[in-house]
Amino acid sequence: MPPTEIKLVVLDWAGTTIDYGCLAPTGAFVEAFASKGVDVTLAEARGPMGLHKKDHIRAMLRTEIVGGKWRAAVGRDWAESDVEELYRSVTPLQVAAAEKYSGLIAGVPAVADALRAKGLKVAASTGYFHEAAAVVRSAAKRQGFEPDFNICADDVLAGRPAPWMIFRCMETLSVYPPAAVVKVGDTVIDIEDGRNAGCWSVGVIDSSNEMGLSEAEFRSLTETERNARRKDITERYQKAGAHAVLHAITDLPALIGDLNARLARGERP
């Protein structure tokens, strides 16, 4: 039977629930490439965010800019063996960065409580590998947030934008169909992930990888600057197929009511 209400929310980790600005992953990629003499920028490192970290490295190398920098520095095109070597370099750097940038985004425990009070289950998924995923999960638990189920890209055949992590959350928590599920994330890949799963796909702006600012940097923006950046990110999310866009994760409980009303009218993602 068609769902009458939302039963499950699948939250991303870095940039959505922890690590305001998604700062941990970017620096690790920059440092790993630097070890090979390749000078990539934070913006270039952010581009494929949301993918499994090995896929992230491939996606960076496939861009004209980073691929060109690689050829200039190394003297040849990149190969799969280079991806493996970079990934081995990224792994300890990523774990250390995840520990450093492990502060929960304000309001996350209260949001989880509000969702559960409405009868929803709360899961979390991430493009992190097992070691980094364990760090953020433990850090979040210490700060008062623990999802009902947690999964990382290493646990499935393919990471985002494939929908397998969302489907595993649904299976484990016994929630279906996809129209009863909301995926919330802070990258375009997250939006595509949700759409590919057939569920409601929602983007968060202010703390996001797409914004790419620490909380202090974001607070230092003028209202005009904030609104201009929000407009640009909203357009990117909507172009990827987002059903809704939120300024902050604290706006999520109110959105659930709106989505339930849309379901009651017969709308589907």
23-43: per-residue pLDDT in tens? 887 888 888 999 999 999 888
148 Cβ neighbours under 8 A, 6+ residues apart:
121, 122, 123, 173
Question: In the predicted model, is pLDDT for residue 46 greater than 90?
Answer: no
Question: In the predicted model, is pLDDT for residue 49 greater than 90?
Answer: no
- Go through the domains of the chain in sequence order and give each one's CATH number: 8-22+104-264 (3.40.50.1000), 25-100 (1.10.150.240)
Tell me what the mean pLDDT of segment 120-141 comes to.
94
Calpha distance 132→136 (Å, rounded): 7
207-231: per-residue pLDDT in tens? 999 999 999 999 999 999 999 999 9
Tell me what the mean pLDDT of segment 63-83 comes to.
94
Identify the CA nearest to 215 among candidates 254, 249, 243, 183. 249
Question: In the predicted model, is pLDDT for residue 109 greater than 90?
Answer: yes
Say what the pLDDT of residue 208 is: 96
Catalytic center residues = 12, 53
Transcribe 145-210 into DSSP letters: ---SEEEEGGGSSS-TTSSHHHHHHHHHTT--SGGGEEEEESSHHHHHHHHHHTSEEEEE-TTSTT
Identify the CA nearest to 57 among candidates 247, 234, 49, 132. 49
Residue that wins the pLDDT comparison between 252 and 1: 252
Would you place residue 3 in the very low, low, confident or very high pLDDT band (cuts 50, 70, 90)? low
CB contact burial 151-175 (16+ within 10 A = b; e otherwise): bbbbbbeebbbbbbbbbbbbeebeb
The model's pTM: 0.87
How many other C-beta atoms can be found within 10 angstroms of the C-beta atom of residue 57? Answer: 26
How many other C-beta atoms can be found within 10 angstroms of the C-beta atom of residue 253? Answer: 19
Identify the CA nearest to 249 among candidates 24, 11, 6, 19. 11
Would you place residue 241 in the very low, low, confident or very high pLDDT band (cuts 50, 70, 90)? very high
